Chain A
Amino acid sequence: MSAVWLVAKREIVTTVRTRSFIIGLIVTAVVVGVVAFLPKFFDGPDKYTIGLVNSQELPLKQALPEAEFTFKTFQDRAAATKAVLDGDLDAALVDGTTVLTDGQIETELGVLMQSVNREVKLGAAGVNVPPLAMESVGADTRYEDARRGIAFLLVIVLFGLVIQSVSMVAMGVVEEKGSRIVEILLASLRPWQLLVGKVVGLGVIGLINLAVVLVVGIGAAVASGFAENFPPGMAGIIAGTMIWFLLGYAFFATYSASLASLVSRQEEVGNVLGPMMLTVMVTYGVSIYATGDPSSTLSTVMSLIPPFSSMVMPVRMAAAEVPLWEVGVAMLIMMAAVAGIAAVGARVYERAVLRTGARLKFTEVLRSR
């Protein structure tokens, strides 16, 4: 175990110290921060300017507290009409009876003025109308948009991190094989210890990246006020994301390490990782689909099948309510898949990593002694 830890520690220390890691972290943090603040810029409170001709201000603010209303008084109908046509006003109220707009009145403002006007008139006549109590008997859809947005961002982050971490594993394997460091290493280590140490070490690096994304993202969302839109159970979503990242990473990293052990030069890494990258791409595609339709049959099925489940399930968990048993079953199947690929991958790695030279075939290596 201490040998595994030594290998892992070396991976962590040497990676953390590289300039590209530090720069990558800073860039990620800035991008995540900006993205988390974006809704504030695009989704500012509504602002209305309303002209008054021979009329009193309507208590619109009372009815819609989050919007801002500005009132301007005009001498006559003609002046108000001109201001409406010039776009200086959203609407003008004339004589307390007519509303002037440019083309069709904006629906929300129109309905609002209509009902507030009615309330004022009724109140003046001494009639008190209690407001209607709103109650939803269907699923809670209040957070749907926020959930989908979060799920979408998660897919991009998970996809990027898995690709990045897995490439680092592959390049590390080839570095050791190509330079024959592996000969010295394997004189004092078992191949599986080297493999597991590398995967664990770079997994920690991936987790550091993910933690930065989550901390900066949530911090910025809280600072920008967007966090108010967070659905309940956000902590569960975050914990789930981390666990699923680790499971997906373990799967793809072991897979890519065994593929990378087949070649001896960095130039060949891209080629040999082809089939694995295709699987990651398909997983990504299904996950993007699942952000839009998290409860469809396809999303549900894919969230149970490894390795797709590693990205589709966290997306579903963020985008909709997923029964706990489904998450549990998906995790068990995924863990079994990780164990399976680790067994096969370690066999291939063990046999291929000392055979320097021309590219080897996966199945051939698996069959060989």
Chain B
Amino acid sequence: MLEITGLRKQFPGGKVALDGVGFEVRPGELYGFVGANGAGKTTTMRIVMGVLLSDAGQVSWQGRPLDADTRKRIGYMPEERGLYQKMRVAEQIEYFGQLHGMSAAAARTATNDLLERLTLTERRNDAVEALSLGNQQRVQLAVALVHDPELLILDEPFSGLDPIAVEALSTVLQERARGGVPVLFSSHQLELVERLCDAVGIISAGRMVATGSVETLQAAAGRALKVVVRGAEPGWADGLPGELAVQGDRHVLVTSGGDDQEILRRAVKSGHVEHFGFERASLTEIFKEAVA
């Protein structure tokens, strides 16, 4: 389990980037780390990877503080993609595998497997700079995965990918998680996070404002009642809580309070009820609520 507790970071300019950030990522868990730009996602991940020092707080793995040896077993994808542009694809992946402590032979086998999985086998001897951005991203992912990491930390792995690549990457991450690897990734694609993740952490201005499983967060956010009435008389909803939107003869009432039975009676009396149901808050709504 990856445990992050009480991280604080103030940059030389005086800006407090992290103000007591803490959360955990359990084995086999896909953890979505979301937050507005500048909220502190990248800073947190860079501190976990040891490329940035924190002013206070701790990062521990399996109960022990993360050290350089342990970090060798993490798969990392930084926010700004870094590859040697003139180096060949396969050689580059092998190189990083070896840097992570693999033998040359093991690195080669793992590279060949990954190239096959990521449909890059035909490009194995091309220079990275000759690849499309989407394919470069796949190489970047391969670099993060080549040494069969015990923990994955990926900063915006989905940004800039087309839908097919998003699916491929999702599958790969789910597989790794199923294999017991904790996967921490940041993203702005909230629908994707909602669909994919077991747990979500929302960071805002250097503080965690919400953490937990998607279901827990939705339960905490409460449910909303949505009623759609066609051809209702104007003023039918007067006195009822919530917001009414009128689109032509279509009246949509969304509310989180009030007597649901009373609302239904009024709706039936005033027109043709097309829809009546409770809706779960989407992650986007939860997010907007949390960072507001």
Contact = CB atoms under 8 A, between A and B. Distances in A.
Contacts of A188: 71-72, 96, 99-101
A181 interface: yes
A14 B86 contact: yes
Contact of A187 (B71, B81, B91, B95): B71
A18 B86 contact: yes
B76 A183 contact: yes
B82 A183 contact: yes
Interface stretch (B28-36, B43-51, B157-165): B43-51
A172 to B, nearest CB: 10
Given A184-B76, A187-B71, A354-B51, A179 B83 contact: yes
A241 to B, nearest CB: 31
Contacts of B77: 184
A216 B80 CA distance: 46
Nearest to B87: A14
A201 B259 CA distance: 76
A298 interface: no
Contacts of B49: 183, 187
Interface residues of B, number: 31
A190 B53 CA distance: 15
A180 B82 contact: yes
B99 A180 contact: no
A14 B68 contact: no
A185 to B, nearest CB: 7
A185 B99 contact: yes
B120 interface: no
A175 B101 CA distance: 24
A14, A181, A186, A189 pick with most chain B CB within 10 angstroms: A181
Contact of B84 (A14, A189, A354, A356): A14
Interface string B81-105: 1111111000100011011110000
Interface of A: 3, 6-7, 10, 13-14, 18, 175-176, 179-190, 354, 356, 369
Interface of B: 46, 49-53, 68, 71-72, 74, 76-87, 91, 95-96, 98-101, 143-144
**Closest 10 A-B residue pairs measured CB to CB?**
A181-B82, A180-B82, A183-B78, A180-B80, A179-B82, A188-B99, A188-B72, A183-B51, A187-B76, A187-B49
5 contacts: A10-B87, A180-B79, A183-B76, A187-B51, A369-B53
